[in-house]
Amino acid sequence: MNLSSKRQQGLTLISIVFILGLIGFFVLLTLKIIPIYSDHGKVTSALAALKEDPNLAGFSETEIRTSLSKRFNINYVYDVKNEDITVVKHGNYVKVDIEYETVVKLVGNLSLLAEFHDTIEAGQE
């Protein structure tokens, strides 16, 4: 038998399984997080489009909520409910505040919670 003074190097099966498990977990996490932030981008773009509307100061609270609801339905945003939208209107001043949270189930009893708070203000107070 020829005994070598050089030791073997490399990963064991357990190390490979552990590394693949970590990679799989982070891929799963990424695939669950991307749609949440994609929907949030749609919410912020709907608010920006509402702010750019020249007739915003003339809208009633119901018209503002309806406009946002239509924009959310077109963009398939289902995380924002009507009770998450707060509209404050004083004369020409309009403030629309959306505060919502999204819970996504990851694995078993492990869930991911994302909270968002967006505000637009238009007009003079």
109 φ, ψ (degrees, to nearest 5) = -100, 15
Structural domain boundaries of the chain?
13-122
CB atoms within 10 A of CB 13: 7
Mean pLDDT of 6-22: 86
pLDDT digits (tens, 9 = 90+) for 74-87: 999 999 998 999 99
CB atoms within 10 A of CB 51: 13
pLDDT at 124: 75
Token output for 109? 């009893």
Has residue 3 got a pLDDT over 70? no
Q: Please state, in angstroms and rounded to a whole number, the distance separating the CA atoms of residues 100 and 7.
A: 57
pLDDT digits (tens, 9 = 90+) for 39-76: 999 999 999 999 888 888 888 889 999 999 999 999 99
pLDDT at 93: 87
Predicted model pTM: 0.78
